[in-house]
Amino acid sequence: LHRPLRGGAPRVLALANQKGGVGKTTTAINLGTALAAIGERVLIVDLDPQGNASTGLGIDRRSRRISTYDVMIGAVSLGQAVLETAVPCLSVAPSTLDLLGVELEIAADKDRAHKLRKAIDDLMQHADEGEAFTYILIDCPPSLNLLTINALAASDAVLVPLQCEFFALEGLSQLLTTVEQVKTALNPRLTIHGIVLTMYDPRNNLSGQVVADVKQFMGSKVYDTIIPRNVRVSEAPSHGKPVLLYDLKCAGAQAYLRLASEIIQRERALRAA
Ligand code: ADP
Ligand code: MG
């Protein structure tokens, strides 16, 4: 079993792609669960007003009395928003539809792009030894709005889910440009962690072509692990469970476990470099 580093700052990864339906939320939930299963302490920050990550982790709307909206407007600390999930070592800061209005509410603030960064810094300062998170995964909304900018400004790296479909690469250059802009203006340490191909269907010739195209365009940034299209993955959220709890043996759950170990290996290589 791999032994996570203790005492250091958590790695903060944003799951971003301005396209909806590409697997951001599914990857946040299941990568988060897989990382927790191999010994990490993980916090998922739900930054999408739709709140699908919160729902998929079994947090019903009534228990979201404190949400990332309250965190973003500075009314509460991030720690106050954190809820435990059914998965040991996996917590979530849930979102509510209030988050839709946050952009307007903070628009006039000088530090509007750094609200989440501040909240995470504050959480790190107050985390007791041993209880500290080792990974924070931010589930972004399907837009390059101020919420996503906050996520990018708060992150060490971006993880981009791309669906294996004909228009997969469409919009990727725009996302990469935004990442470069945030890097220049707000967060010099930001990097692209990797591209995760999702909903791969081996029966569809197009899927294979998309994998080849994306690899040609993004090279080694593409993770070796490809997430297959798997009905168990899409069923799990309606049970309020990550697929690793719903059906550990299914191809989707196993792929997310492989992705987690691949990510940890990349992290080790980065630290050793
Ligand atoms: P996003 O957060 O980017 O909008 P989601 O993670 O919500 O995307 O995924 C969009 C839809 O696709 C959801 O209904 C989800 O259950 C389904 N889905 C995601 N990944 C898979 C997969 N590997 N196999 C089958 N369905 C999937
Ligand atoms: Mg989503």
pLDDT tens, position by position, 16-29:
999 999 999 999 99
**Residue 254: CB partners within 8 Å, gap ≥ 6?**
none
Amino acid at site 141:
P
Strand partners, 130: none
Nearby residues of 147 by Cβ (< 8 Å), 6 or more positions away? 47, 48, 72, 99, 102, 103, 140, 141
Phi, psi of 39 (to 5 degrees): 105, 0
Q: Using one digit for the tens of pLDDT, what is the confidence trace for 175-218?
A: 999 999 999 999 999 999 999 999 999 898 889 999 999 999 99
How many angstroms is it from 229 CA to the middle of ligand 1? 9
**Mean pLDDT across the stretch 68-86?**
97
Task: State the pLDDT at residue 129.
Answer: 58
Share of the chain above pLDDT 70, in %: 96
Full set of structural domains in the chain with CATH: 11-159+230-272 (3.40.50.300)
Other beta carbons within 10 Å of 83: 17
Whether 198 is in the pocket of ligand 1, judged by its Cβ within 6 Å, is yes
Which secondary structure element, helix H or strand E, spans residue 69, and what is its range?
A: helix 68-72
In one-letter notation, the amino acid at residue 84 is E
Tokens of 1: 């079993």
pTM of the predicted model, to two decimals?
0.96
Smallest CA separation from ligand 1 atom 18, residue = 234
Task: Give the mean pLDDT of 226-230.
Answer: 97
With 0-12 CB in 10 A as exposed, 13-18 as middle and 19+ as buried, what is 141?
A: buried
Q: How far is the CA of 113 from the centre of ligand 1 (A)?
A: 28
Report the C-alpha dihedral over residues 75, 156, 166, 232, rounded to 10 degrees. -70
- The number of the ligand nearest the C-alpha atom of 50 reads 2
What's the ipTM?
Answer: 0.99
